[in-house]
Structures are given as structure tokens and as C-alpha cells.
Amino acid sequence: MTDKTIDNAIVNPKTYAHVDEFHRLFTQLRKEEPVRWTEPDGFRPFWTVSKHADIMEVERQNDKFLNDPRLTLQTIEVEEEVKKFTGGNSKLIRSLVDMDNPDHRNYRGLTQAWFMPPNLKAISARVEALAEKYIDRLEAKGGECDFVSDVAVWYPLRVIMTVLGVPAEDEPIMLKLTQELFGSTDPDMKRPDATETVNTVTEFFNYFTAMTEDRRKNPKDDVASVIANATIDGEPIGHLEAISYYIIVATAGHDTTSSTAAGGLLALMQNPEEFAKLKANPEGLLGGAIDEMIRWTTPVKHFFRTAAVDYELRGQKIKAGDNLLMCYWSANRDEEAFDDPFSFKIERSPNKHLAFGYGAHLCLGQHLAKMEIRALYKELLARLDHIELAGDPAWVEASFVSGLKRLPIRYSMK
Ligand code: HEM
């Protein structure tokens, strides 16, 4: 591959829908140019960081590597469209992942306790009941279905919307908007209009503005009420920040978990010995299997950091103001961080994957995500008799949050 072909492949959404192609490209980068200056057509240039140790080195130093102002891969065209809309700002929302300290610490502190294991215990029975309901739905499909569109997308959506406080009848709109936001580069998922990202975010804004007003008047026992009534230093939080908070919880909270649930099932079907071990001892092996599913699928493919100072990373001279693309999926196949990284092993130990990121921005919802996947698989493993692929799986064409969009299965229940 020429230099330009490599740069264009790194940003091409199609690369992320062809798993083998992706891993060939990044295996080569890790070996030959682990911190690579990248100048793709139609994108502002950046450093591509593909190794596990380097991503940790960057993310651990959140005073030297900032989340603001560049966060995800966007074409210059989309960036310009957003700037026109916002009057100069290259981002439409300002959520936790967009913030640096002191704001990040303050805003994260508002909901952090809510998402920690002691608090999550209070909702575990509800999550288990939902898992049962969605495996009932699988059973009702009668032996053949698309695991993604029939089960995997709906269950985490229901869980996160319950946590947030969105009523069940509004879930289809939440699903549509999230899929448009993360799948805006996939022909099956994008909006038909030209200013798609702006319009999607505007719809989210309208929905959550009404919700804020409601929760200020009638607070309930949900995360929406925590956000709507939050104060920092005695002052109510900003409107943009409140709406952005809902958006990140609503969106980050389900597509990622759906991708893990579906990608994990495919990995188990493709590794029947691992599947058999797990079926024989779900109690003992499920925790490790879930970590391996998350490493294997790595639903969040990247985030950016921007250098605040000049810095040398693996011999490359990063200048203050340069952007760095943290490639989590590549880090999670790094031969120097994992034994036999291309094997799916449910008993992998240690398994220090970076699928939830690292450092101050480490995923807020990681315990919830694991709890959900555990509840779903506990139910599935207890009731499943036989399962096999019933057609070709397909992956979403997206370089930011992506996973399976189709997983046809044939199965029988006990
Ligand atoms: C942040 C992955 C599930 C909410 C992140 C980050 C990653 C990630 C990679 C950025 C970390 C960094 O920059 O170092 C995932 C994966 C999930 C998942 C793979 C499922 C398997 C969830 C769930 C929620 C959630 C269920 C629900 C609340 C968030 C939030 C942040 C975040 C709010 C921003 C944290 C911050 O900037 O301080 N997640 N996530 N995520 N995630 Fe998740």
C-alpha cells in the first residue's frame, strides 16, 4: 500500500466493516509505524496511535493530552457544516468526553455514584427481568432470527432508557437517532437529508429540552432528574451541558452494549470449544467471557486527544496542538500486550483491554454494560439448546462506534 492508501484506509468507514482488512492494516501499522503521521484526503491530519502502551501513556496524562477540541473522525466537510450551524464551534454538543478539567471532574462527579456497583445493585433485578423478557422474545421468534435487529439492539436500549427515564413508547425514536448519529457513514443507517448530523442532534435537543423541563417540575428516581436538577458550585448546570449529558448517556449506553452482545455471540459460535466450556460452567466463566467479548469486539473504535505541550511518543515528535487518534481495537490486538491476541479465549487472564478507554475518561457505564451482558448471557445460556449461523453476518460501516448490523441465527431452546 502506498502512504496515501494507508492514510485513506485508516479513515474509511468501510475498513471497519471488513474485520480482517482492518486487522491486517493495523497489524502492519503496529509493526512498522506505531505512531504514524496521517494525512487522509478530506480530513485534517493527525497522528495514528495503534499500540496499547502508547494509548495508555497518552490517556494517563490528561493534563498534557486534552479531549477538547477534536474528539472523533469527521470529514472537513462535516466540520465546516457544523461550524456554520453553531457559529464557529466544530462540535454540536459538550458532554463529558468533550470536557477537560476542572469541568470534566465536576460534571462526571454529578452521576458517577449512580453508575457504580453499589448503586447498580438496586436495579439488577430490573435488568435481569428485562434480560428474561428479551430471551423470551428470542424464543418466540421460533428458531430463526436476526439476533441484532430482533434482540441485541432492543435490550440495552430498554435498560439505558429505564435508567435515564425515557418512556418505552419513545424508544424507537431514540434508537433511530442513535443509529443515525453513529451510523451516519453507513448507507443502511444514514438520514436521507444532506445536513444529517446537525438534524439528528437538533431532534435530540428538542426531545431532551422538554424532558429537562418536566424533571425540574416533577423529579423522579432516574438519571434524567439528577441531570435536570444538578448544580455545580451552587449554580444550575448549563443547558448545552445538560442536554449533552442526556445525549451521551442515551447514545453511549446502548449501541456499544448491543455490539458486544451480538459480536460476543458470533465469536462463541465461531469458537465452539470456548462456547462448550462456557455452557458447562457459566457461573465460573461468564465474567472472563464478557471481558473477552468486549476486547474482541471493541465497539468504540477510537477517540482523539490533542497535545497541550510538545511531547515525544515512541520517538515521534508530537507538537502542541497536534491531534492523536487512539485506536482501541488495534491496541486490543497488540501482540506486546496480549498472548495470542487473535484467539478468542474466555479464560484470558490477565485481560487488560482498552475497550473502555483508560484514565480520567474511563467509561462511566462499564459496570452497567457488564451487568447487562451478564444478565443476558446468563439467561441465554440457561435456555439455549443449539445455535448456528444461518447466513452471512454484516458489520456497520463506521469508524467511531461500530459492530454487527446483521447476525442471522438458527437455534433451538431447551
Ligand atoms: C466513555 C466504551 C458502555 C457511558 C467511554 C469511552 C469508551 C467507552 C472507549 C471513552 C474512554 C476514554 O476516553 O478513555 C464503552 C463500551 C461500552 C460502553 C465498549 C459497552 C460495552 C457504556 C454505557 C454507558 C456509557 C452502558 C451508560 C451510561 C459513557 C460515558 C462516557 C463513556 C458517559 C464518558 C466518560 C468521561 O468522559 O468521563 N465509553 N462504553 N458507556 N461511556 Fe462508555
pLDDT tens by residue, the chain, 414 residues: 678 999 999 999 999 999 999 999 999 999 999 999 999 999 999 999 999 999 999 999 999 999 999 999 999 998 998 888 888 887 888 999 999 999 999 999 999 999 999 999 999 999 999 999 999 999 999 999 999 999 999 999 999 999 999 998 998 888 888 877 776 666 766 655 546 778 888 888 899 999 999 999 999 989 999 999 999 999 999 999 999 999 999 888 888 999 999 999 999 999 999 999 999 999 999 999 999 999 999 999 999 999 999 999 999 999 999 999 999 999 999 999 999 999 999 999 999 999 999 999 999 999 999 999 999 999 999 999 999 999 999 999 999 999 999 999 999 999
CA of 79 to the centre of ligand 1 (A): 23
Atom of ligand 1 nearest to the CA of 115: 28
What does the alpha-carbon distance between residue 45 and residue 41 come to, in Å, rounded to a whole number? Answer: 9
- Which has the closest alpha carbon to 331: 2, 6, 58, 37? 58
CA of 366 to the centre of ligand 1 (A): 7
Q: Is the CB of 376 under 6 A from ligand 1?
A: no
Q: Measure the CA angle with vertex 352, ends 355 and 58; round to 5°.
A: 65
Cα torsion 229, 231, 236, 242: sign:
negative
Among protein residues, the one whose CA lies closest to atom 39 of ligand 1: 363
- Which has the closest alpha carbon to 240: 113, 75, 248? 248
Q: In what order do the strands lie in the sheet with 323-327?
A: 35-38, 46-49, 323-327, 302-307, 65-66
Among protein residues, the one whose CA lies closest to atom 25 of ligand 1: 365
CA of 90 to the centre of ligand 1 (A): 22
Identify which of 57, 363, 376, 404 to mutate to test ligand 1's pocket (most ligand atoms within 8 A of the CB): 363
Q: What is the ipTM of this complex?
A: 0.99
For residue 272, whether the previous peptide bond is cis, meaning omega lies within 30 degrees of 0, is no
pLDDT of residue 204: 87
Phi, psi values for residue 66, rounded to 5°: -100, 155
Q: Is the CB of 369 under 6 A from ligand 1?
A: yes
pTM: 0.96
What does the alpha-carbon distance between residue 203 and residue 310 come to, in Å, rounded to a whole number? Answer: 40
Among protein residues, the one whose CA lies closest to atom 30 of ligand 1: 364
| CB contact at 8 A, 314 and 50 | no
What does the alpha-carbon distance between residue 303 and residue 408 come to, in Å, rounded to a whole number? Answer: 30
Question: Cα–Cα distances in Å, from 215 out to 47, 165, 211, 221, 246?
Answer: 43, 10, 6, 10, 12
Query: Phi-psi category of 264—alpha, beta or left, where left has phi over 0 and alpha has psi -120 to 50?
Result: alpha
Q: Is the CB of 303 under 6 A from ligand 1?
A: yes
Q: Is the CB of 165 under 6 A from ligand 1?
A: no
Q: Is the CB of 403 under 6 A from ligand 1?
A: no
Among protein residues, the one whose CA lies closest to atom 36 of ligand 1: 361
CA of 383 to the centre of ligand 1 (A): 30
Q: Is the CB of 161 under 6 A from ligand 1?
A: no
Residues in the chain: 414
DSSP type of residue 307: E
Identify which of 244, 356, 402 to mutate to test ligand 1's pocket (most ligand atoms within 8 A of the CB): 356
Among protein residues, the one whose CA lies closest to atom 28 of ligand 1: 365
What does the alpha-carbon distance between residue 82 and residue 249 come to, in Å, rounded to a whole number? Answer: 22
pLDDT of residue 252: 87
Q: Is the CB of 97 under 6 A from ligand 1?
A: yes
pLDDT of residue 124: 96
Q: Is the CB of 99 under 6 A from ligand 1?
A: no
Q: Measure the CA angle with vertex 63, ends 108 and 357; round to 5°.
A: 55
Spell out the residues 6+ positions from residue 335 whose beta carbon is closer than 8 angstroms to its own. Answer: 30, 341
Atom of ligand 1 nearest to the CA of 359: 14
**Which amino acid is located at 206 in the chain?**
N
| CB contact at 8 A, 70 and 98 | no
Q: Is the CB of 211 under 6 A from ligand 1?
A: no
| CB contact at 8 A, 90 and 43 | no
CA of 364 to the centre of ligand 1 (A): 5
Q: Is the CB of 261 under 6 A from ligand 1?
A: no
CA of 365 to the centre of ligand 1 (A): 6
Q: Is the CB of 264 under 6 A from ligand 1?
A: no
